[in-house]
Chains A and B, each alone.
Chain A
Amino acid sequence: MRPFSYQRATSAAEALRLASELPGARFIAGGTNLLDLMKLSIERPSHLIDINRIGLDRIEDTPEGGLRIGALVRNTDLASHKRVRKEYAVLTKAVVAGASGQIRNKASTAGNLLQRTRCPYFYNTDQPCNKRNPGSGCSAIGGFSRSLAIIGASDTCIATQPSDMAVALRLLDAIIEIERQDGSGRTIPIADLYKAPGTSPDVETTLAAGELITAVVLPPPSGGKHFYHKVRDRASYAFALVSVAVIVHDNGSGKVALGGVAPKPWRLETADAALPLGAEAATATLLASATPTHENAYKIPLVERTLGSILSQARS
């Protein structure tokens, strides 16, 4: 058997210390993604550091009027938090559009951000996949790509980042708080969390080994009407073909982010500026550099139509 050790940390500092002592260690939060991948031999950590008892499980008001969401806050608790529901409704809508009630009860905020792709070839260890096995090739390019990325990908990997929550957080300009092994901290905007696949699609984020996400901070609420429309093949319990997150204000200004189209939540500030001009203009800007396959080209009109229907709901 492939042995791995397991240790439970009781504080963030202990978790970080263990991570520095145990190269190859991984944090485990809800485990709803990591354990599945370990069973399939896709993830092979030598050590697991259980961070479920380190605290960081609260949602607090920030002095600026925003919210600090602890890394271990469960998806269910996040979605049902009073201020989140009222002032950051797009986040509640996105979270409850994901997975199932049972999974959301376990899934953590940081774990959700770091969940891995759902490209079907990534899950088939007999098949070439640059993300799972760097340099082996990409089976999806020229294979089954209907659900995969149309933009921001590379010719080594066209996988999407599947998190619904991340799309809303990108729209809300969330900040990720990170602690390092030496005790220092840093923050990055969520826009900088995910790396473009380039030639190394196995490296998905800008987190260094052993860095711990401790919180996600939301700026003060922006108001406006919030929408999250997730389009999928069945009514529930399926990943997005595309998802569209929008906040619109009465004057027509607003912002838009997309899920299911790219290796990260897809947002361009230039497209936000085009939003008052309508769905066609905003989509044209958002997806100007799209290079879809023949199987997933439908995502472009689908985004435009979904955005169009959101904008018309916003007006009514």
Chain B
Amino acid sequence: MRFDTPATTNPIDQLRVIGKPHDRIDGPLKTTGNATYAYEQHAAAPNAAYGFILGAGIAKGTIKSIDLDEARRAPGTLEIITYENAGPLGFAPFIPRTAALAGPRVTHYHQAIALVVAETFEQARDAASHIRITYSEEAGRYDLAAQYDTAPIAPDYILGPSEMRINDFDGAFASAPFQLDETYTTPPESHAMMEPQATTAVWEGDQLICWTSTQGIAVALGDLAAVTGIPPENIRVVSPFIGGGFGSKSFNHADISLAAIAARMVGRPVKVAMQRPLVINNTTHRPATIQRIKLGANADGKITAIGHEALFGNVENGWQESAIVPTRHLYAGANRMTLARMATLDLPEGSTMRAPCEAAGMMALEIAMDEMAEKLGMDPVEFRIVNDTQVSPDHPERPFSLRKLNECFRLGADRFGWQDRPSRPRAVQEDGWYIGMGTAAAIRGALAFPSAARVRLASDGIVTVECDMTDIGTGTYTVLAQTAAEMMGVDIDQVAVSLGDSNLPATAGSGGQYGCASSTGAVYAACVKLRELVAETLGFPGGEAIFEGGMVRHGETSLPLAIAAANGELAAEDLMEYGDLFQTFDQQTFGAHFVKVAVNSATAEVRVRSMLMVCAAGRILNPKTARSQVIGGMTMGLGGALMEELVVDKNRGFFVNHDLASYEVPVHADIPHQEVVFLDEVDPYTSPLKAKGVGELGISGVAAAIANAIYNATGVRVRQYPMTLEKYLSELPQI
């Protein structure tokens, strides 16, 4: 099926199953410990040997020697894989750009030097400690700020041009009666997902099966083939359950290729879980940014000039954390400039993390908007409403498919009691705490990519959905079951869902908050085909049958759906493809955050007291799983605002806080009352379900809302994330 004209009325609009807050259908498996993750395939891969990754102890240089003698003699050691015996390794086409196995070059700290395979995990770990390596170490580039003056314009990238100038930005900024010119920094952040990267690899003849923790089966398979040289047709990748990814598992890491090679070498299953202390420096992170924002406005609050420059760093040809992206879509303003610059760094590789580009960009832009509102003497909500646009600001010929940002702000302000916010900072003090409120917009692209699915109808009336889509904790199993139930006119408990297997029809996977729209679109297309097949089998003329309550009705005749499969299962498969509606219309999700914080007037500790987000994100397929996504994003953004930072050791080139004890993320006690409101809207331009995604919208803007609330509470403006107390303690009044 091709989706190239806006959706009209279709069976989804019945909203019998879609739009309902169904519990996760995979919930019981998870809460009872019966969901088997990549490292837990004891039944499918018995007698697996354990792999332990030894990471490089330097950030940059060359391996001079590796002495494996003692490690090979250690009890239980089966094999040790290094660059000397692994055979040639290639690269994935996109990410990562750094080698899965170092040698002789080492290009980042904790890059894998060796995989030790042993009978037990403890034996592998111990043997690894007996490997003796000598390096010749080189000086590296670890400090992004040091390249602020010299870093070149970023090479052209998938995110659009690195530089855009519309009309006369410099002139308009220079002549604007109100000007803002400030610089903001965001630190490197870690995905810090619960389940580390992990793979169990098994060879059966020349066929390889990898149970791995991935967000996208097809990418994992293709990239594994590219790195190892194993023909893709000989590989099967399976990933039924994933303990979070946040973008880190959109691409492969060392675990999968090393497990595959090791399992072949030792002739038995091998499992490798990235050890927690290795995750942060061996795998990827959200790169740091330094952003300069210039705004010019008239006294009426209309922005006349908007400029956003972002400097980010990465390995050569690495992911670009182009924080300017949201500025290209968010606010009006005739004169515009966006510029992305990229420094080359020898740190571990940066990659995508929840709302890449938008999250970092909005951390800066939405403080800038708050600062400008104050200069103008305007309410920050009003300032944003005044600068709304219904056409994509960089491309006025391109309207938004649906943009209700102003509605989000109005509703949110009303619900949150925004009118109580003191316009003057540091105006409210209660029991030794300064109290403040902040707001920020949220924006995140709403994409959908070609995806296929198969739907089968069995003689007992059970409908089975099959595709290689992943459920990374988001609720995909459930929304796909809801989609099929709605389309086939059955209850959700009549639907079974199989996911995460490369033997099944290929989808775009999970990421970029496109997974839900893409995979439900695929199931929709397959169900349309299956309905035709059912109608044909039952002798009903095409297109007119009504599927409802487990029955298929045509005119006066009504037959059980299951009858259609009485003489054998019916199956239909289809690929949903997308036309140019994405180009014709700017498709985004929107939201407005409202936050109340308390700042201790003595110690500057921050406690967020309440959070509200109003989202405009198309049709919400399941308000319960959608809410979970949004509060998850808000929580992660709170971490980004207040505590999350990978600290770079600029002498030796690595992230110092490399475990979950020292990379602090919010705990329960940090999370206050959170409320999420979804506007009741449908967007017919995005997909036949008229839905978008919400997995990343929640994190967009929220950190800035907290920063703005801290300012409102204390009168101290901090422009460096995270807002740890030493950054403003000295500016608080003496007590």
Contact = CB atoms under 8 A, between A and B. Distances in A.
Q: Do A and B bind each other?
A: yes
Interface of A: 1-2, 40-41, 118, 120-121, 123-124, 126-127, 139, 142-144, 146, 229, 231-238, 241, 298, 301-302, 305-306, 308-309, 312-313
Given A144-B647, A298-B726, A305-B735, A234 B652 contact: no
A204 B64 CA distance: 37
A126 B57 contact: yes
B62 to A, nearest CB: 17
Nearest to A40: B277
Contact of A233 (B76, B643, B651): B643
Nearest to B57: A126
B602 A308 contact: yes
Interface stretch (B401-409, B527-535, B659-667): B659-667
A305 B602 contact: yes
A302 B74 contact: no
A70 B55 CA distance: 43
Nearest to B601: A309
Contacts of B74: 1
Interface of B is mostly: loop
A308 B662 CA distance: 29
Interface in B586-610: 600-605, 607
A238 B556 CA distance: 68
A124 to B, nearest CB: 7
Given A123-B662, A124-B658, A236-B670, 18 more contacts: A121-B656, A126-B57, A143-B649, A143-B651, A144-B647, A231-B605, A235-B670, A236-B669, A237-B667, A241-B725, A298-B730, A301-B729, A302-B726, A302-B729, A305-B603, A305-B735, A309-B600, A309-B602
Given A120-B656, A298-B730, A312-B735, A234 B664 contact: yes
Nearest to A100: B667
B126 interface: yes
Contact of A302 (B277, B670, B725): B725
Interface in B58-94: 74-76
A234 B602 contact: no
Interface string B691-726: 000000000000000000000000000000000111
A235 B735 contact: no
B57 A234 contact: no
A238 B649 contact: no
B659 A123 contact: yes
B603 A309 contact: yes
Given A1-B74, A144-B656, A309-B602, A118 B649 contact: no
Interface in B632-660: 642-643, 647, 649, 651-652, 656-659
Contact of A123 (B277, B605, B726): B277
B432 interface: yes
Contacts of B652: 127, 139, 143
B603 A229 contact: yes
Contacts of A306: 602-603
B662 A120 contact: yes
Contact of A2 (B126, B658, B726): B126
B649 A231 contact: no
Contact of B126 (A1, A120, A298, A302): A1
Contacts of B661: 118, 123
Nearest to B605: A231
Contacts of B601: 309
Contacts of A238: 664
Contacts of B607: 235
A139 B656 CA distance: 10
B673 interface: no
B729 A234 contact: no
Nearest to A124: B658
Contacts of A231: 603, 605, 725
A301 to B, nearest CB: 6
B2 interface: no
A123 B663 CA distance: 13
B123 interface: yes
A237 B75 CA distance: 38
Given A143-B649, A144-B649, A233 B126 contact: no
B151 to A, nearest CB: 24
B584 interface: no
Contacts of B605: 231-232
Main secondary structure of the interface of A (DSSP, over half): loop
Contacts of B670: 234-236
Contacts of B725: 231, 233, 241, 298, 302
8 contacts: A1-B74, A139-B652, A143-B651, A143-B656, A234-B666, A241-B725, A309-B601, A312-B735
Nearest to A144: B656
Contacts of B76: 1
A139 B603 contact: no
Nearest to A303: B603
B129 interface: yes
Nearest to B118: A1
B583 to A, nearest CB: 44
Contacts of A118: 661-662
A244 B643 CA distance: 22
Contacts of A146: 647, 726
Contacts of B658: 120, 123-124
B397 interface: no
A4 to B, nearest CB: 11
A136 to B, nearest CB: 12
Contacts of B277: 40, 123-124
Given A1-B74, A127-B652, A306-B603, A235 B729 contact: no
A1 B122 contact: yes
Contact of B669 (A40, A124, A234, A312): A234
Contacts of B730: 298, 301
B117 to A, nearest CB: 15
A234 B643 contact: yes
Nearest to A2: B126
A234 B658 CA distance: 17
B667 A235 contact: yes
A234 B725 CA distance: 11
Given A123-B277, A127-B652, A235-B669, A41 B129 contact: yes
A293 to B, nearest CB: 12
Contacts of B659: 123
Contacts of A302: 603-604, 725-726, 729
B735 A139 contact: no
Contacts of B732: 305
A308 B735 contact: yes
Contacts of A1: 74-76, 122-123, 126
A137 to B, nearest CB: 11
A124 B277 CA distance: 9
Contacts of B651: 142-143
A104 B76 CA distance: 36
A234 B667 contact: yes
Interface string B111-149: 000000000001100100100000000000000000000
A231 B662 CA distance: 16
A118 B726 CA distance: 20
Contacts of A144: 647, 649, 656-657
Contacts of A233: 642-643, 664, 724-725
A308 B732 CA distance: 14
A25 B680 CA distance: 67
Contacts of B602: 305-306, 308-309
A298 B726 CA distance: 6
A200 to B, nearest CB: 24
Nearest to A242: B603
A171 to B, nearest CB: 19
A253 B651 CA distance: 47
Shortest beta-carbon contacts, A-B, top 10: A309-B602, A298-B726, A126-B57, A235-B669, A236-B669, A144-B656, A1-B126, A305-B602, A235-B670, A233-B643
A146 B55 CA distance: 26
A13 to B, nearest CB: 33
A236 B656 contact: no
